[in-house]
Structure 1
């Protein structure tokens, strides 16, 4: 099971827990309403425990059916649609299901509680719409980033140890000129989608898309674990080789990347007023970009800093070529670089 699927199951678990809590709160609200001055009181045989079980049961069943549909179908099938489009589609579909349930109840139940069905339909319709909106916002910000916003993790800047990979598309200018603007955009969209699984499988976080470049970040311990920060590149390469027929058929080309990888301290924090974002700042980012720029000069697929290589057991798994001490553009001190291949 790849990490994208694991992440989806995690989303489903969160939805299930949230909808169970909402079901409980609905039961509590109904209980209080029954004992207000404007209420005629509870019906004969009313039980708060039964109400809790029914509402939480509805939340659980709804999460198993509706939540699964949102996570595994709607957000895959309609990921290219606008937020408003998917929210409206999901809400209307849910209300249609509620209407269908009401019709079935009228046929098979002698005295259906239509008002209760309508009330539940409206309440859970709003819950479904809000859930879908949150799923899409989370997708927009990136895995885990939206949650960090909610809990204010980076309100105060924090220093972190990170590994960065700058992944750059080979011959991007030539490809863009040949495909044209619209088709090139479609190509990048397909390409970035296809390389997502190898990135997630290696515990990478997609930090930014910059034109035809992808910036991938790792928590330091995740990146050095089993050489995931290095393995990620070669997994992407192998995955694209398996998809070669697709790209030849649709775009008449074979995509390939080059990468620079480096590690160091960065400061992570929220920036912006009109548009807020969580950004990393530090010399390591600029240095990684410069390292990636050396790939063309040395005709190398991957170049890593010696600082990072010293923390990894590269011998035996990759062909290692020491490039010597290189003065990177804009840097005063020379840096030892290493080219990798497999």
Structure 2
């Protein structure tokens, strides 16, 4: 059975949350074990192994439960009710809601167990000791707050950007082979007449529609610039360039599907132009007060210059460097236009336009 990319990504995210919560509760068990006196095991007639196996099994089941609840809230509840809050306030409110939901479910499970509708056994240990309950609740709040904050910053900075900063991949300049797409909103008289506050809302709406497609097509967001975005792909063995073209095609189709909504909300239907190029670039982490991973090379300036030709030549333009790497079937979707000397360049560049 084939699953869509969206389903796979959601499943992956759910498993990541479960893994984080299971790890957190395993850590909780080992902390508890480290502060328990040996006399406890003698009184309870338990060996260390029996204690750890019992507690770790409980931690595993509780972690799976907590992780799944966290995923459901993160996917369906948090975006609807906490979108307008800052990171810190949203994280605090989400943590409180999470604890409330978990305890409501625990109470339901306990009541069902009392009437013998279900049997808990030792998988979920509900201890009604005020001291333990307080410590456990505070620990869950801290774990939830930590995961939520990490998730929020990761979302705003980008997953690959965070990984690169943590690993220190670009502390020294590195040469990579990358594909770049400059995706910009088409300037028009209608757009120019939109009040700047509404215009910002328009861009937010467009880039929300784009975000999911970016993830599905394995692209990275390099920068948001004015009314456009610079996307990039790191070329590895087995990389398929059709993802780059698919991203633009799917995004354009998504905007057309929502044209009635955009027309009603903003009085126009947004359109985007795009240019694609590839080649070697130097990647480096720059800045002290504010760090950023930057790409340097002729590839970017060429891509930007090609994008400026979109108004006259077509909505999607690609360079010869990118065109040559496409399959013959994919090349049939593009037509060569006249060789052009781009602004600021000495050598002419062969450019192809999409037939769509």
TM-score calculated relative to the size of structure 2 = 0.85
User: Which residue, out of 144, 162, 166, partners 2:160?
Assistant: 144
Q: Which runs of 5+ in 1 are unaligned?
A: none
User: Residues of 2 paired with 1:126 and 1:304: CA distance?
Assistant: 49
What does 1:17-166 correspond to in 2, within 5 Å?
Answer: 17-35=19-37, 41-42=40-41, 44=44, 47-75=51-79, 78-97=82-101, 112-166=128-182
**Residue 328 of structure 1 pairs with residue 330 of structure 2:** no
Contact persistence 1:168–1:213 (CA under 8 A): yes
**Residue 183 of structure 1 pairs with residue 198 of structure 2:** yes
Contact persistence 1:306–1:336 (CA under 8 A): yes
Deviations 1:292-326 (A, max 9, x none): 1111233x111111121111135567543322221
Deviation for aligned residue 1:335: 0.9
Contact persistence 2:191–2:268 (CA under 8 A): no
Deviation for aligned residue 1:153: 2.3
Deviation for aligned residue 1:59: 1.7
User: Residues of 1 paired with 2:45 and 2:79: CA distance?
Assistant: 42
Worse-matched range after superposition: 108-117 or 206-215 = 108-117
TM-score calculated relative to the size of structure 1 = 0.88
Contact persistence 2:185–2:271 (CA under 8 A): yes
Deviation for aligned residue 1:169: 0.6
Contact persistence 1:2–1:197 (CA under 8 A): no
Deviation for aligned residue 1:80: 4.2
Count of equivalent residues: 337
Worse-matched range after superposition: 160-169 or 101-110 = 101-110
Worse-matched range after superposition: 202-211 or 218-227 = 218-227
Contact persistence 2:177–2:280 (CA under 8 A): yes
User: Residues of 2 paired with 1:222 and 1:35: CA distance?
Assistant: 55
**SS of residue paired to 1:48:** helix
Contact persistence 1:163–1:223 (CA under 8 A): no
User: Residues of 2 paired with 1:82 and 1:337: CA distance?
Assistant: 44
Do the aligned partners of residues 93 and 335 (structure 1) sit closer, same or farther apart at CA in structure 2, a change above 3 Å counting?
same
Q: Which runs of 5+ in 2 are unaligned?
A: 115-125
Deviation for aligned residue 1:287: 0.7
**SS of residue paired to 1:324:** coil
Do the aligned partners of residues 268 and 77 (structure 1) sit closer, same or farther apart at CA in structure 2, a change above 3 Å counting?
farther
Aligned to 1:12: 14
**Residue 266 of structure 1 pairs with residue 266 of structure 2:** no
Aligned to 2:266: 251
**SS of residue paired to 1:195:** helix
Do the aligned partners of residues 105 and 218 (structure 1) sit closer, same or farther apart at CA in structure 2, a change above 3 Å counting?
closer
Contact persistence 1:305–1:336 (CA under 8 A): yes
Contact persistence 1:325–1:334 (CA under 8 A): yes
User: Residues of 1 paired with 2:338 and 2:44: CA distance?
Assistant: 86
Deviations 1:138-191 (A, max 9, x none): 10111332122222222232211111111111125x344322011111111001
User: Residues of 2 paired with 1:130 and 1:111: CA distance?
Assistant: 25
User: Residues of 2 paired with 1:301 and 1:222: CA distance?
Assistant: 29
User: Residues of 2 paired with 1:322 and 1:101: CA distance?
Assistant: 62
User: Residues of 1 paired with 2:211 and 2:150: CA distance?
Assistant: 21
Do the aligned partners of residues 34 and 284 (structure 1) sit closer, same or farther apart at CA in structure 2, a change above 3 Å counting?
same
